[in-house]
């Protein structure tokens, strides 16, 4: 053990997007329970490639007693991961390539299924905080991929809801601030979060939880998780 510079992750600020895990060339960071974690001190070289990648500034440096960086162990570990992994990014299960077999039931090809979309825009980053459609709204906050993964998404989730979508990994922003304003400044009746099962989707769940807490309001809410095969897991 030596005194040295090493990263420190603030779990309160972390939105679980996984960008830092992708940026870390040593594989020292993994997403567990929707939060970034430094898995072992000896994997961290202290150079901080992950710092500028973090959209919420959840990663900083600290000087503390820690195991020395062990380059040989890191190289061995990364070689094993490369051999085992089918993931294009090397660290994110949400980027793993997989083929999904779909069983099609007989249906009327001439039947037009209408949209349940009740407002525009949809992106969390773009919606105005004081938009009139938020008054008395049942709010749906959904991960971008969820509507593509779940076939009956419009009827099951969007019907009679104001829909907001985002991807914490690709947008590189902290949604909690915008969502806090929306919930605090409007009469929201309920909040439903629809996320995918992949770890990086924990960012959107954590952002909503944080927004609900910081808004100071008690609002009914629920989390629905969709598998990559399009099944509701809870």
Would you call 120 exposed, middle or buried from its count of C-beta atoms within 10 A (0-12, 13-18, 19+)? exposed
Per-residue pLDDT, 94: 57
Q: 64 - beta bridge partners?
A: 4
pLDDT along the chain (234 residues), means of 10: 91 87 86 87 88 86 91 82 52 56 61 85 93 95 94 93 90 85 95 90 87 90 92 88
The fold of 132-226 is: Rossmann fold (3.40.50)
Helix (H, G, I), strand (E, B) or coil at 224: strand
Per-residue pLDDT, 193: 96
Taking a C-beta distance cutoff of 8 angstroms, is the pair 114, 155 a contact? no
Per-residue pLDDT, 106: 59
Per-residue pLDDT, 170: 81
How is the chain split into domains, by residue range?
A: 2-93, 132-226
Q: Report the C-alpha gap between 220 and 218 in whole angstroms.
A: 7
Strand 138-143 and strand 162-166: the pairing is parallel
Domain 2-93 identical in fold to domain 132-226: no
Would you call 216 exposed, middle or buried from its count of C-beta atoms within 10 A (0-12, 13-18, 19+)? exposed
Whole-angstrom Cα Rg for the chain: 20
What predicted TM-score, i.e. pTM, was given to this entire model? 0.62
100: Cβ contacts below 8 Å, ≥ 6 apart: 228, 229, 230
The candidate with the shortest Cα–Cα distance to 202, out of 16, 69, 28, is 16
2-93: which CATH number, 3.40.50.1370, 3.30.70.20, 3.40.50.800, 3.90.25.10? 3.30.70.20
Per-residue pLDDT, 234: 81
The candidate with the shortest Cα–Cα distance to 168, out of 157, 158, 178, is 178
Q: Report the C-alpha gap between 23 and 106 in whole angstroms.
A: 46
């Amino acid at each position: 053990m030596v005194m040295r510079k090493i990263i420190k992750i603030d779990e309160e600020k972390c939105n679980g997007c996984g960008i830092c895990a992708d940026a870390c060339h040593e594989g020292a960071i993994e997403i567990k329970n929707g939060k970034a974690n430094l898995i072992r001190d000896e994997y961290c070289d202290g150079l901080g490639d992950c710092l500028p990648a973090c959209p919420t500034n959840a990663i900083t440096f600290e000087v503390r007693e820690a195991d020395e960086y062990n380059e040989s162990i890191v190289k061995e570990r990364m070689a094993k991961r490369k051999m085992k992994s089918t993931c294009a990014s090397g660290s994110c299960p949400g980027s793993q390539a997989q083929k999904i077999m779909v069983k099609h039931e007989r249906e009327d090809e001439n039947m037009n299924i209408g949209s349940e979309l009740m407002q525009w825009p949809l992106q969390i980053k773009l919606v105005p905080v004081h938009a009139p459609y938020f008054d008395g709204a049942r709010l749906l906050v959904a991960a971008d991929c969820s509507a593509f993964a779940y076939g009956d998404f419009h009827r099951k989730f969007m019907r009679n809801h104001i829909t907001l979508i985002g991807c914490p990994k690709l947008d590189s922003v902290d949604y909690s601030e915008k969502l806090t304003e929306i919930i605090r400044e409007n009469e929201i009746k309920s909040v439903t979060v629809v996320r995918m099962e992949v770890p990086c989707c924990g960012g959107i769940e954590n952002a909503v939880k944080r927004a609900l807490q910081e808004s100071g309001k008690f609002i009914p809410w629920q989390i629905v998780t969709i598998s990559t095969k399009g099944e509701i897991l809870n």
